[in-house]
């Protein structure tokens, strides 16, 4: 299966407990499938982060939750991957993050286009 980076970065949430959009990607003509990955290895003792991946049923519809993952410093898995989203042409996917507590941390993330 081939994949390519549609959007990526490293972000420190600006405020604890407030959801922040990392990126919104629009599917090209012909559509595409996407997965989101967030590296949570920066979390320290008892810190928790919530990652949400949203999309639309149809172009023009409101964004709706597709996947929500909550991870903490004690999570065995440090690279969180959300469920894939299949998009028609012009449909969006959005990746959000919210750090619930602790010291604000920097998180590396990517939205990958997967075709295959």
pLDDT at 101: 95
- CA–CA distance, 13 with 53 (Å, rounded to integer): 16
What letter would DSSP give residue 57?
Answer: S
Q: How far is CA 85 from the centre of its chain?
A: 11
Domain boundaries, the chain: 2-115
CA pair distance 7, 5, nearest whole angstrom: 6
Question: Which residue did the predictor score with more confidence, 72 or 16?
Answer: 16
Distance between CA atoms of residues 83 and 100, nearest Å: 22
User: What's this model's pTM, rounded to 2 decimal places?
Assistant: 0.92
Task: Quick: pLDDT tens for 44-85.
Answer: 989 999 999 999 988 889 999 999 999 988 877 899 999 999
The confidence score (pLDDT) of residue 41 equals: 93
pLDDT confidence of residue 75? 79
Q: Write the pLDDT tens digit of every residue in 93-115.
A: 999 999 999 999 999 999 999 98
Q: Report pLDDT for 116.
A: 56
Q: What is the pLDDT of residue 109?
A: 97
C-alpha dist (Å) from residue 25 to 6, 34, 42: 7, 9, 25
**Res. 28: pLDDT tops 80:** yes
Residue 74 burial (CB count, 10 A): 10
Three-class SS of residue 91?
coil
CATH number of 2-115: 2.60.120.1300
Maximum Cα–Cα distance for the chain, whole Å?
A: 45
């Amino acid at each position: 299966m081939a994949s390519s980076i549609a959007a990526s970065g490293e972000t420190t949430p600006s405020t604890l407990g407030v959801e922040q959009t990392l990126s919104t990607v629009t599917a090209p003509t012909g559509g595409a499938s996407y997965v989101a990955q967030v590296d949570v290895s920066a979390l320290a003792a008892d810190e928790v982060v919530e990652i949400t991946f949203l999309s639309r049923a149809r172009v023009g519809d409101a964004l709706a939750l597709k996947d929500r993952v909550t991870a903490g410093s004690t999570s065995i898995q440090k690279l969180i991957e959300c469920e894939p989203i299949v998009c028609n042409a012009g449909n969006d996917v959005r990746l959000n993050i919210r750090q619930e507590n602790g010291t604000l941390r920097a998180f590396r993330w990517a939205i990958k286009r997967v075709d295959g």
